[in-house]
Amino acid sequence: MRLLETHALEAFYGDFQALYGIDLRIDEGETIAVVGANGAGKSTLLAAITGLRQTPPDMVAFDGRPIGGLKPAEIVSRGIALVPEGRRLFPSLSVEENLLIGNYGRKVRGPWSLETIYRLFPVLKERRSQPSTSLSGGQQQMVALGRALMSNPRLLLCDEISLGLAPSVIKDIYAAVADIRAAGASVVVVEQNISQALAVADRIYCLLEGRVTLTGHPGELSRDQIGRAYFGG
């Protein structure tokens, strides 16, 4: 079942074109990775999918229906949640309030609730009443993931969730991503960290300067191919 599809997706910042006709698809239950260097257009792609950037309606389709140009709140209610780059927790909200706000726009039954998120990240339960800014980077990333899960999304978008974290913490975070997959969500991970992306994804897309330069299953792609697609040349 096709869950999300982009058709010749383009994006501009003034005169600067950030995306040149991206065609991407994610099937139900699939995990894909989008890799690329800084400025390749990865975050712009996510902004277009979540509605933070306006696009013409038929450039993005979710569940077979066009969602391009809808308000972000409307897109969330249909089942797409984003873990934004840099976590972006709400500083005036406690840890638990940050989680609770996650299902503001979409309250559906599903595998994820405060209880199951605390089971996934027990440390958050201990710190539930603390301000979110008092947590370590890894714990903040757990809150950001949990916050996105609270809406029981059908599609979870993770933007650079390993950035700036210690390797052991990255391992914990990606172990949680595996649990999230197992619970049934489709996942898009956007990563600069190629080996991490290859380890988790069913398929990968490599972006370079706003274009898809390579796509395929991790096992079928050689290091060389990926290196060329990632850096150009």
Partner 1 sequence: MIIADTLIQGILLGGLYALFATGLSLIFGVMRLVNLAHGDLMVVAAFAILIGVEALGLPIILAAIVAGVGMFAFGYLLQSLLLNRTLGKDILPPLLVTFGLSIILQNGMLEAFSADTQRIPFGALGGASIALGGGLAVGVMPLLTFVSAVAVIVFLNWLFYHTETGRAFRATSDNPEIAQLMGIDNSRIFALAMALSLVVVAIAGLYLGARATFDPLVGPSRLIFAFEAVIIGGLGSFWGTLAGGIILGLAQSFGAQISPEWQTLSGHIVFLLVLLVRPRGLFPRAVD
Give dist(CA 232, CA 213) in Å, integer. 9
* Binds partner 1 by CB under 8 A, chosen from 44, 50, 141, 152: 50
* Binds partner 1 by CB under 8 A, chosen from 41, 68, 102, 110: 102
Q: Which is nearer to partner 1, 102 or 110 (CB)?
A: 102
Using rule CB under 8 A, residue 21 touches partner 1: no
* Binds partner 1 by CB under 8 A, chosen from 20, 66, 93, 111: 93
Using rule CB under 8 A, residue 113 touches partner 1: no
Is 206 in contact with 192 (CB distance < 8 Å)?
Answer: no
Q: Kindly provide the b/e burial profile for residues 177-215, where b requires at least 16 CB atoms within 10 angstroms of the residue's own CB.
A: beebbeeebbbbbbbbbbebbbebbbbbbbbbebebbbb
Using rule CB under 8 A, residue 12 touches partner 1: no
Using rule CB under 8 A, residue 183 touches partner 1: no
Residues 6+ apart with CB under 8 A from 104: none
Candidate segments 4-12, 37-45, 48-56, 194-202, binder of partner 1 by CB under 8 A: 48-56
**Which residues of the chain form contacts with partner 1 (CB under 8 A)?**
50-52, 71-73, 76-77, 81-82, 84, 88, 90-93, 97, 100-106, 131, 133, 147, 151
